[in-house]
Amino acid sequence: MWRHYSGRVLPRITATAYLTPLREGGSLPAIMEADDLGTYVVKFSGAGQGTKALVAEIIVAGLARRAGLRTPELALIDVAAEIARTEPDDEVQRLITASVGTNLAVDFLPGSIGFDRGFPVDRAIASTLVWLDAWTANVDRSLRNTNLLIWHRELWAIDHGACLRFHHAWGRPESFAEAPYNYGDHVLSGRADPRGVHDQLAARFDEAVLDAILADVPDAWLLPEPERPDPAAPPDPAAARIAYRDYLLARLAAADRWLR
């Protein structure tokens, strides 16, 4: 059974072995073992997308859980340079070297398969998923690249790194809040009624709930990135958490602009 949102900070674990790279996605995540004897998909802080992708993963997984969707458990995983020593692949070596320290671990769902259109999805779940993706501006749930897994006959949402694109160029909250959503590109939009679930879902997200979810993001990933200068970026982690909260609440309040 998946964990209901409980507001605790993420567990910290340490990587003990690099098993295999996952080459379907663009960010070269890897399956790794950790000192809690768990197996995880690790998303690296040194990947091209930068730590913002990891921030979006944590926040949107927290929102998904609070909305009642299934998404794998997350942890923060410490990766040491030695873990790459026996890896023959240069690209993997470089990525791990660039990622020494804290990374994001996603609980590996063994035996899960990628979503295919023949799988029957409950209308309430489809509506909730499409609503969440529209709220967070997720562009990564297309027919070609669904980022949905079937595991134990249930639908699991993964890969939220492309959500919350406003953090790549902080600016006017309205431009994010009011941006339309491209429903035509969403694999489940034909089976969903996001407008029908809006009131009930929006009521689950107030300042306190968002603050608790944002507390899961490590401070280090909320600092301005010197290699990607943005004069409008929040200057410190506390300001960043408030900004994420305000952008998300502003988009909820502007739902008439993006709801379908």
Ligand X SMILES: Nc1ncnc2c1ncn2[C@@H]1O[C@H](COP(=O)(O)OP(=O)(O)O)[C@@H](O)[C@H]1O
* Beta bridge partners of residue 74, listed in sequence order: 106
CB within 8 A of 78, min separation 6: which ones?
12, 13, 14, 15, 101, 102, 103
Q: Of ligand X, Mg ion, none, which one sits near residue 112, judging by CB under 5 to 8 A according to partner kind?
A: ligand X
102-161 binders of ligand X (CB under 6 A): 106-109, 112, 114, 147, 149, 158-159, 161
Binding window for ligand X (CB under 6 A); candidates: 8-16, 91-99, 100-108, 185-193: 100-108
Instruction: Give the one residue of 52, 67, 72, 189 binding ligand X; rule: CB under 6 A.
Output: 72
Please tell me whether residue 147 binds Mg ion under the rule CB under 5 A. Answer: yes
Least Cβ distance, residue 223 to Mg ion (angstroms): 26
In contact, 20 and 87? CB cutoff 8 Å = no
Q: Which of 16, 27, 93, 102 binds ligand X (CB under 6 A)?
A: 27
205 binds, among Mg ion, ligand X, none (CB under 5 to 8 A by kind): none
Partner whose footprint covers residue 26, from Mg ion, ligand X, none (CB < 5 to 8 Å by kind) = ligand X
Q: Residue 231 carries which DSSP code?
A: T
Taking CB under 6 A as the criterion, the residue among 12, 16, 22, 100 binding ligand X is: 22
Choose which of 159, 181, 192, 234 interacts with Mg ion (CB under 5 A). Answer: 159
Task: Give the three-class secondary structure for 93.
Answer: helix
Interface of this chain with Mg ion, residues 86 to 105, rule: CB under 5 A: none
What are the φ and ψ backbone dihedral angles of 20, each rounded to 5 degrees? -160, 145
What whole-number distance in Å separates Cα of residue 259 and Cα of residue 193?
A: 10
Tokens of 98: 């660039």
Please report where in the chains the tokens 């990607």 appear, as a residue: 228
Q: How far is the CB of 70 from ligand X (least distance, A)?
A: 11
Task: Report how far residue 104's alpha carbon sits from residue 161's, in angstroms, rounded to the nearest whole number.
Answer: 11
Cβ-based neighbour number of residue 50 at 10 Å = 16
* Residue type present at position 148: L
Which DSSP category does 114 fall into? Answer: E
Residue least distant from ligand X (Cβ): 25
Q: Which is nearer to ligand X, 41 or 77 (CB)?
A: 41
Three-class secondary structure of residue 243 per DSSP: helix
From the CB of 25, what's the least distance to Mg ion, in Å? 4
| Closer residue to ligand X, CB minimum distance, 109 or 179 | 109
Radius of gyration over alpha carbons of the chain, in Å? 18
Contact partner at residue 106 from Mg ion, ligand X, none, CB < 5 to 8 Å by partner kind: ligand X
Chain residues binding ligand X by CB under 6 A are: 22, 24-27, 29, 41, 72, 106-109, 112, 114, 147, 149, 158-159, 161
